[in-house]
Chains A and B, each alone.
Chain A
């Protein structure tokens, strides 16, 4: 158990819909990272937050947004869903926020299926 909790574990929805994925980092970790894992794209970095502030942005679509709340949990919002958004979405946390991330601790992921 990494200490990172993601909900929901599985989600099935239709195209055009909007979903929210939630992540609780390990106790004491200030950084949260979101990754998308799909068969054709591998593990793609989406976005990082450190202590409530956006720190780095990767291949995140404009239809997607995220935030980190004062209690350090984070939410990833996916809107106007398309079939290609079906993937496993991972949240990871680390105590650091610098350019050198150190070890990331991953949750078990939220599997999104868009029909």
Chain B
């Protein structure tokens, strides 16, 4: 996704918090999404945030949205080995979801 940018790799210790950052370009996106891709599987919706919200919390997940800077972040509290995956942020524009390149999160013991 050329219009959505995210860092490619993140290594985190088990039990620590993970923070994945993303910048997007389409200010008209009504929703912004985080998808998770586990090895050998398709993408699965993890969480989303409506564009008029600044923050959304869902169990161990916290999404922060800064519309002024077009910045989206996903925080995973108490990161577990099962959280090892590729995380994609995505914005809706023009009848499609545009994805970032994905952040590979590796959880080490």
Cβ-defined contact, B98 with A45, below 8 A: yes
Query: Nearest Cβ in chain B — how far from A46, in angstroms?
Result: 9
A19 at the interface (CB under 8 A from B): no
Q: Which of A48, A58, A97, A108 contacts B42 (CB 8 A)?
A: A108
Cβ-defined contact, A48 with B88, below 8 A: no
Residues of chain A with a CB closer than 8 A to B101's CB: 42-43
Categorize the interface residue count of chain A.
20 to 34
A103 at the interface (CB under 8 A from B): yes
**Contact mask for chain B residues 24-47; partner A; CB cutoff 8 A; 1 contact, 0 none:** 000000110100000011111100
Q: Which of B31, B44, B93 contacts A106 (CB 8 A)?
A: B44
**Residues on B facing A (Cβ under 8 Å):** 1, 30-31, 33, 40-45, 48, 88, 92-102
Closest 6 CB pairs of A and B: A106-B42, A42-B101, A56-B95, A43-B99, A106-B43, A45-B96
Cβ-defined contact, A42 with B102, below 8 A: yes
Residues of chain A with a CB closer than 8 A to B1's CB: 42-45
Residues of chain A with a CB closer than 8 A to B98's CB: 45
Q: How far is the CA of A110 from the CA of B109 in the complex (A)?
A: 33
Query: Nearest Cβ in chain A — how far from B3, in angstroms?
Result: 11
Q: How far is the CA of A42 from the CA of B33 in the complex (A)?
A: 16
